[in-house]
């Protein structure tokens, strides 16, 4: 490459964009660099997408609860853990000033076995139940059909459940725990990383499929509290703590969602796995970016030495190398980001997970891409710092 490629006006009036010229000088090298860095970026984007889908799926039901304050067992460490409490405690909570209504929310993740109308096989599902006269979910499809749940044995099924469950089929009947159920409608929720499908029913149907007796009814997983107009949630929460035993935790909706997210992020196995996957992509990207930058610096070392000989400071040369590494990173990030949009849609269609590109994922992936390229360039730039014009020529 001609030395003139690197000449620039040191006064800054007509400075040649050396970093940009260095990136586009060799088109094939640019394609190879973009492909290598893009691979690492796509790996990070996939892990970040799975992580957000994991959180979104885990928190979807909690965010869809229709209440301001919630009661649950103090020993319950995540939503999908069964730790019911007595329904009689809800009557105590109803007497607290500022409470408009208290509704029981029943749930089960480990004892409901659904007979698939597709192949007749039995699969584990999750089930939610409530009093149809007191809705507790913000799902329009459920609320508009809740009157159909009055009949014992009537259920609503999730049409976005995994397809082998057959809940997306126009089927009128099935079985749960060997009890015949009438499918009276559908709603759209989707599976998560614990459950493949969901069935919603009345509390009477829930007791029936759980083979519970009148003397020993199922316990409540959540107490859903709606406040009276003008009531202060903090004051009502404090009053509930005084009225209820210490075995019951009282949380606002934001606190309940934050509690679940903290468990999934810090204590569950899935959250750290996706974080480790992102770190692996970052390290792979650093190695690829280092090789790219080191090769470019080595090829153009005589030009860098010439610039040092005619008086350009080392700081200027370092800036050129770092800028070029950043441009290489952006050149790899853009096609990787565009590819991830299609990949997200494909995964969402196949796995039925809420894989959505968000502003947070976009900005974080861009920051990680620039970070890995700049760190690797900082390591590789040592040859420019040590370049001696007399030794090079």
Q: What is the pLDDT of residue 387?
A: 54
Q: Check whether residue 215 and residue 309 sit in a common domain.
A: no
Q: How confident is the model at residue 338 (pLDDT cuts 50, 70, 90)?
A: very high
Q: Which of 230, 245, 260 is the last residue of a domain?
A: 245
Q: What is the pLDDT of residue 219?
A: 86
The CB-side HSE value for 234 (13 A sphere, CA atoms) comes to 0
Residue 264 forms part of a structural domain: no
Q: What is the pLDDT of residue 293?
A: 85
Q: What is the pLDDT of residue 14?
A: 45
Q: How are the residues of the chain apportioned to helix, strand and coil, as percentages rounded to the nearest 5?
A: 55, 20, 30
Q: Check whether residue 227 and residue 91 sit in a common domain.
A: yes
Q: Is the pTM of this model over 0.75?
A: yes
Q: How confident is the model at residue 252 (pLDDT cuts 50, 70, 90)?
A: very high
What's the domain count of the chain? 2
Q: Return the closest-CA partner of residue 187 out of 159, 214, 145.
A: 159
Q: Check whether residue 203 and residue 229 sit in a common domain.
A: yes
Q: Check whether residue 93 and residue 47 sit in a common domain.
A: no
User: Does residue 37 surpass a pLDDT of 90?
Assistant: yes
Q: What is the pLDDT of residue 389?
A: 56
d(CA 212, CA 204) in angstroms, rounded, equals 10
* Residue bearing the bigger pLDDT, 320 or 284: 284
Q: What is the pLDDT of residue 218?
A: 82
Q: What is the pLDDT of residue 16?
A: 58
User: Could you tell me how many residues make up the chain?
Assistant: 393
DSSP state, residue 216:
S
SS3 at position 127: strand
User: Does residue 5 surpass a pLDDT of 70?
Assistant: no
Domain residues for the domain of 296 are 3-58+269-392
Q: Is 193 exposed, middle or buried (0-12, 13-18, 19+ CB in 10 A)?
A: middle
């Amino acid at each position: 490459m001609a030395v003139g490629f690197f000449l620039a006006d040191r006064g800054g009036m007509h400075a040649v964009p050396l970093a940009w010229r260095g990136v586009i000088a060799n088109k094939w090298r640019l394609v190879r660099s973009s492909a290598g860095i893009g691979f690492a970026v796509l790996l990070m984007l996939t892990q970040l997408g799975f992580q957000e889908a994991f959180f979104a799926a885990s928190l979807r039901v909690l965010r869809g609860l229709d209440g301001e304050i919630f009661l649950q067992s103090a020993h319950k460490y995540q939503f999908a853990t069964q730790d019911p409490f007595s329904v009689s405690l809800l009557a105590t909570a109803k007497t607290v000033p500022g409470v408009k209504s208290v509704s029981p929310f029943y749930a089960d993740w480990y004892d409901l076995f659904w007979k698939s109308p597709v192949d007749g096989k039995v699969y584990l599902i999750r089930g939610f139940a409530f009093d149809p006269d007191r809705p507790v979910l913000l799902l329009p499809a459920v609320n508009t059909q809740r009157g159909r749940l009055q009949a014992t044995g009537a259920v609503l099924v999730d049409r976005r459940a995994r397809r082998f469950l057959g809940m997306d089929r126009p089927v009128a009947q099935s079985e749960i725990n060997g009890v015949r159920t009438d499918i009276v409608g559908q709603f759209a929720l989707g599976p998560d990383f614990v459950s493949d499908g969901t069935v919603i029913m009345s509390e009477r149907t829930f007791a029936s499929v759980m083979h519970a007796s009148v003397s020993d009814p199922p316990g409540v997983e959540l107490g859903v509290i709606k406040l009276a107009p003008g009531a202060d949630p903090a004051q009502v929460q404090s009053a509930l703590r005084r009225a209820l035993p210490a075995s019951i935790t009282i949380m606002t909706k934001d606190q309940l969602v934050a509690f679940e997210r903290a468990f999934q992020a810090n204590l569950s196995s899935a959250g750290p796995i996706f974080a480790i996957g992102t770190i692996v992509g970052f390290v792979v990207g650093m190695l690829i970016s280092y090789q790219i930058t080191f090769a470019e610096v080595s090829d153009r070392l005589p030009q860098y030495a010439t610039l040092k000989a005619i008086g350009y400071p080392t700081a200027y040369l370092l800036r050129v190398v770092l800028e070029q590494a950043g441009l290489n990173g952006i050149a790899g990030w853009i096609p990787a980001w565009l590819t991830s949009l299609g990949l997200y849609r494909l995964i969402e269609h196949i796995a039925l997970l809420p894989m959505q590109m968000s502003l947070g994922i976009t900005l974080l992936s861009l920051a990680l891409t620039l970070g890995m390229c700049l760190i690797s360039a900082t390591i590789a730039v040592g040859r420019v710092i040590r370049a001696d014009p007399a030794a090079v020529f």
